Structure 1
């Protein structure tokens, strides 16, 4: 399968679903990671043009850790808009991948760039298969299933499906660690350790899912998007508790 994850900023995908993407790669699927904005407003101690270069480099290094193909869209940070022109850019980007599955932010996420990325994806996705909407790449030949990834901190997000990422949690953290510019800014400004955030949320979702570490997702339910099979990856590690080995 072709798997496409779309985030608003460099590091969003790594925080929310890198463990799942790494599972897809391990199972032989093609994974693409697209970032809408260049993240150039993300630090107080680096000028925007320089920060955009840094964050693109960090993103590409993170994709290499996961084994994903990077797609850098380069919109200005904090100023993403849901316009017809931008919608068509998203259409063409998705057509270039021809995905079986798309993963993006939820509609109620905390950041406007996250919410607008969701809206652009949701509005563009049905257009990818329309023959008379012309972009650089040809139309896809199917309607694509859309999944929403967790919110930062797991706030106000109720997963309907889980992926056991116990096998890939260290890959997830190694990919996130490539975003050094953001690790230090979160610690400096908010005393937040992003690596600890993904570890803690991963454990919490794991408690919900019946495994050590998990990532949570919600499938967008819409007509003609339903499937009779699971598209999210299955883990090689048992996801249920073995009561026979429980200590008394």
Structure 2
């Protein structure tokens, strides 16, 4: 039987606006060029991401920045409206994320890694993992308004790098493969530049003097590992009963 060459649907879901741009937008741009439909989702609207604006004001600003970045890619944009520093691993949260997966109907999901520098990222990873499993379970209602139907199967699940590719102790984290994003790197940086509100915040809270340059440095480091100018790293979730064939890498190679 010939393989189905229909481009897979992609859901890229991470904790905050700009996480996707920093960690996998170059790969998403390649997938878009391959004909994939893409949904970019954030768990929060980034309501704590400012020292000058209040929560509602900065959330409005960051939602607009996220939409602008997604439009540059030709992707759908979704926010699950959790609050920064308050993403909890419980059934209400799992239902909300499961509903998002059912609405996006992805064949491939890219999300936060299990170990990262902050709880929002790690809780996102756990909730998305569970939601990928739960989305096809008929007896798991999400109890959301106008719920989407269940999905046909469990999607292929991949984790992006943690910030700067290190765990809690500054040790390098493993990866399965690195994608050469040299050709799409300008679009990646242009998308990240849409998140202008974060420049001052990241300088103050994260000690990143220039968030665009920090992103370039990390992408260049990953690229050097495969003799490319820029790269993005991924690790596939292969626990039972998630798919084990590498649909992401296969799609990128078409």
Q: Which residue of 1 aligns with 2:169?
A: none
CA contact (8 A) 1:164 1:234 kept: no
For 1:28 and 1:184, the matched residues in 2 are separated by 36
The Cα shift of 1:186 comes to 1.7
The Cα shift of 1:191 comes to 4.5
CA contact (8 A) 1:91 1:125 kept: yes
1:219 matches 2:236: yes
For 1:45 and 1:60, the matched residues in 2 are separated by 22
CA contact (8 A) 1:205 1:215 kept: yes
1:160 matches 2:176: yes
The Cα shift of 1:229 comes to 4.5
* Shift in alpha-carbon separation, 1:191–1:134, aligned structure 2, 3 A: closer
Q: Which residue of 2 aligns with 1:6?
A: 13
CA contact (8 A) 1:129 1:143 kept: yes
CA contact (8 A) 2:17 2:42 kept: yes
Question: Cα deviations across residues 17-74 of structure 1 (Å, max 9, x unaligned)?
Answer: 0101111111110011110012111111111110000000000001111221101111
The Cα shift of 1:224 comes to 3.0
For 1:153 and 1:3, the matched residues in 2 are separated by 24
For 1:103 and 1:116, the matched residues in 2 are separated by 14
Q: Which moved more, 1:88-97 or 1:191-200?
A: 191-200
Q: Which residue of 2 aligns with 1:171?
A: 187
Q: Which residue of 2 aligns with 1:143?
A: 154
What does 1:87-106 align with in structure 2 at a 5 Å threshold? 87-106=94-113
Question: Cα deviations across residues 128-154 of structure 1 (Å, max 9, x unaligned)?
Answer: 101122241111111211100011112
What does 1:51-130 align with in structure 2 at a 5 Å threshold? 51-130=58-137
Give the structure-1-normalised TM-score: 0.90
* Shift in alpha-carbon separation, 1:31–1:110, aligned structure 2, 3 A: same
Q: Which moved more, 1:190-199 or 1:224-233?
A: 224-233
CA contact (8 A) 2:34 2:252 kept: no
Q: Which moved more, 1:109-118 or 1:180-189?
A: 180-189
For 2:97 and 2:15, the matched residues in 1 are separated by 12
CA contact (8 A) 1:36 1:72 kept: yes
Aligned length: 236
For 1:91 and 1:187, the matched residues in 2 are separated by 34
For 2:164 and 2:43, the matched residues in 1 are separated by 21
For 2:19 and 2:89, the matched residues in 1 are separated by 19
For 1:88 and 1:229, the matched residues in 2 are separated by 27
CA contact (8 A) 1:206 1:213 kept: yes
Q: Unmatched 5+ residue regions in structure 2?
A: 1-7, 167-171
* Shift in alpha-carbon separation, 1:110–1:183, aligned structure 2, 3 A: same
